[in-house]
Amino acid sequence: MQFIARFFAGLVGMLVLVAMVLLSSLKAQDAKFHNAPHSVKALKNPYQGQAPADAKTLYQSRCAVCHGENGEGTGNIPSLAKGRAQTATDGELFWYISKGDINNGMPSWQSLPEEERWKIVSHVKLLGSAKSTPPSTSSVAASKSVVDTNLPMPPAHPSRPWLTLVLTPRQRSLLASRVPSPRTGV
């Protein structure tokens, strides 16, 4: 009799555990883009469906260093040409670009004019509709010449130096050249 009681108690426990896992996965599928507030979904991009002339230059000078010329991403840095960035609304992307997430290595670009942030959103959305072709050597060289290393870079979080571990050596050197050292101030 005790064996049957233990067996059913274990079975009920397993069913509860399975139900919890299933419910949590359903919740994860309904998760918002980087916990963006519901209100930002309704924000309208003034450049929606357009390709502003300077949007690609803005993207290459601010975003391509980490996300790649074609938004392909590298290592821990997500792709912008496919995945969550393409399923997010323009308003959610604008909010995330503005807010950033320094704990995950994404700087806040709040200091950019609103118009430029919307142009970057438009370009990111266009990356998803572009055919994915590997970049040629000449296009990689061209993109490096477009990146202006003298542009202001939002400061890194001084208490999270481990963030540099997820960056490539080139990204670390660019970041180091833009952010003053917390120790020396230079």
Per-residue model confidence as pLDDT tens digits over 21-47: 666 544 444 457 888 999 999 899 999
Per-residue model confidence as pLDDT tens digits over 141-154: 444 444 444 555 55
Q: Residue 101: which domain range?
A: 51-148+156-174
Cβ–Cβ under 8 Å, residues 109 and 118:
no
What confidence score (pLDDT) does residue 58 get?
A: 93
CATH number at residue 56: 1.10.760.10
Residue 52 pLDDT > 80: yes
DSSP code per residue over 69-119: TTS--BTTBPPSSSTHHHHS-HHHHHHHHHH-BGGGTB---TTS-HHHHHH
Q: Is 181 a domain residue?
A: no
Cβ–Cβ under 8 Å, residues 12 and 6:
no
Number of structural domains in the chain:
1
Distance separating the N- and C-terminal Cα atoms of the chain: 75
Q: Is 106 a domain residue?
A: yes
Q: Is 130 a domain residue?
A: yes
Name the band, by pLDDT with cuts 50, 70 and 90, for residue 160.
low
Look up residue 175 and give its DSSP letter. H
Phi first, then psi: give them for residue 106, nearest 5 degrees: -100, 115
Q: Is 113 a domain residue?
A: yes
Q: Is 17 a domain residue?
A: no
Q: Is 94 a domain residue?
A: yes
Average pLDDT of the segment spanning 163-180: 61
Q: What pTM did the predictor assign?
A: 0.58
